[in-house]
Amino acid sequence: MPEKVKIQLEYEVKSAPKILFSFLNEPNALAQWFADEVTIRENIYTFQWHDDSKRAKLVNVKDNKSVRYKWIDDEPYYFELEIVQDELTNDVALAVTDFVKEENLEDRKLIWDNSIDYLSSVLGA
């Protein structure tokens, strides 16, 4: 199985960190932009997209700052969403860390671009 490469993306998001954070770890909020349906049971999140589902464990949470989900069936890979706020301007960005097979790199970037655009529209930004 080919190794995955780490990608790091950053998106400007017009939202207060506290509001944005709720969209990163609450199942109902995640279902508004990240997956079609999100459920949680014993700290395991199930993300459902059309005919596909994946399970991930929430392994790290920093309130109003970041979340890291580790894929159950895809060890040791994870994805992380981190809120970054500029100290001078107070501009808010969402930094995404993900892992993807090299041949799927451009598709995955496009998926994140579209997901974050959708998140921005849900936030009303």
The yes-or-no verdict on residue 61 having pLDDT over 90 is yes
- Mean pLDDT, to the nearest integer, of 51-55? 93
Q: In percent, how much of the chain has pLDDT > 90?
A: 88
pLDDT tens digits, residue range 62-113? Answer: 999 999 999 999 889 999 999 999 989 999 999 999 999 999 999 999 999 9
Pairing status of strand 66-71 against strand 44-49:
unpaired
Give whole-number Cα distances, 115 to 2, 6, 8, 34, 75, in Å: 26, 18, 15, 6, 23
pLDDT tens, position by position, 101-117:
999 999 999 999 999 99
State CA 22 to chain mean position distance: 12
